[in-house]
Amino acid sequence: MSALMKVGAVIITMGNRPDELRALLDSVAKQDGDRVEVVVVGNGSPVPDVPEGVRTIELPENLGIPGGRNVGIEAFGPSGRDVDILLFLDDDGLLAHHDTAELCRQAFAADPKLGIVSFRIADPDSGVTQRRHVPRLRASDPMRSSRVTTFLGGANAVRTQVFAEVGGLPDEFFYAHEETDLAWRALDAGWMIDYRSDMVLFHPTTAPSRHAVYHRMVARNRVWLARRNLPAPLVPVYLGVWMLLTLLRRPSRPALRAWFGGFREGWTTSCGPRRPMKWRTVWRLTRLGRPPVI
């Protein structure tokens, strides 16, 4: 059955990493099995030169990470239906092995309820996986594969049937927490998510706070995430826990000011449609090791 599954890939770029993008595309082209069809989306910028056969889309403005990826999904037909699996890869990443696409085919073929696979991200020089790149609370052993409750946005594979059932990424988030929003909706619809340590994307070690909008968007989108997806009694609990964790991390005064500004923005602006998850989904998240209060 895995041989019948078609795989595509969506890569968004700002056009400022042409060498890294070319290396990534070469690593996708070297994947075992049938050819992976690739779409590169220029998110408000021209797309650098790409190999023949790679499709490109140049957007007139930056739609943000989820918006750009949604355009890439639709390039494969409504909800990506022209393929069975879509890989989402950061443009400065690199598939470490030639069998990643084939491992995805095998994983999705073997488990009909598997909706999303999160890859392991490793630094290309040291091989180290940052703790924040292991999508579970017990993150001390990145080499342990497991069921999880969220996934890494720039290193994953999604069964396109998931998009058909629950919709795409939330455009309005622009940056931060869009993966968890999709993950919670997928889990609520009965899909499962796996973290696979044997599917590796090489990516340079970075800090998320390098983005100027990081603290504001993280806080705003955290509020939106809760307002959109959680049963009403859990919304204040979830946000209260994250406020406490933020304070315990002792961010700088400017960072804290930006965070509280984003937190306020999350309450005073539209978060999009509200579809609270079922209480049985709350219990499922809890059994998987991450109740939706943290």
Give CA torsion, residues 244, 246, 249, 252, to 10 deg: -130
> What per-residue confidence (pLDDT) applies to 75?
98
Mapping DSSP onto H, E and C, the string for 155-183 reads EEEEEHHHHHHHCCCCHHHCCCCHHHHHH
> What per-residue confidence (pLDDT) applies to 205?
87
The candidate with the shortest Cα–Cα distance to 220, out of 266, 261, 171, 173, is: 266
At residue 146, the 3 state secondary structure works out as: strand
Tell me the two tokens of residue 225.
């995430």
Question: What confidence tier does 209 reach under pLDDT thresholds 50, 70, 90?
Answer: low
The candidate with the shortest Cα–Cα distance to 94, out of 29, 175, 14, is: 29
CA dist., res. 272 & res. 187, Å (int): 19
For 83-122, the pLDDT digits (tens) are 999 999 999 999 999 999 999 999 999 999 999 999 999 9
At residue 289, the 3 state secondary structure works out as: coil
For 248-262, the pLDDT digits (tens) are 999 999 999 999 999
Task: Phi first, then psi: give them for residue 250, nearest 5 degrees.
Answer: 50, 60
DSSP per position, 25-44: HHHHHT-SSSPPEEEEEESS
CB atoms within 10 A of CB 293: 18
The candidate with the shortest Cα–Cα distance to 62, out of 41, 40, 76, 80, is: 41
What's this model's pTM, rounded to 2 decimal places? 0.96
CA dist., res. 47 & res. 258, Å (int): 32
Distances (CA, A) of 208 to 188, 217, 255, 276: 28, 11, 13, 28
Residue 212 has pLDDT above 70, yes or no: no
Residue 3 has pLDDT above 80, yes or no: no
Question: What confidence tier does 207 reach under pLDDT thresholds 50, 70, 90?
Answer: confident
CA dist., res. 182 & res. 80, Å (int): 15
> What per-residue confidence (pLDDT) applies to 172?
97
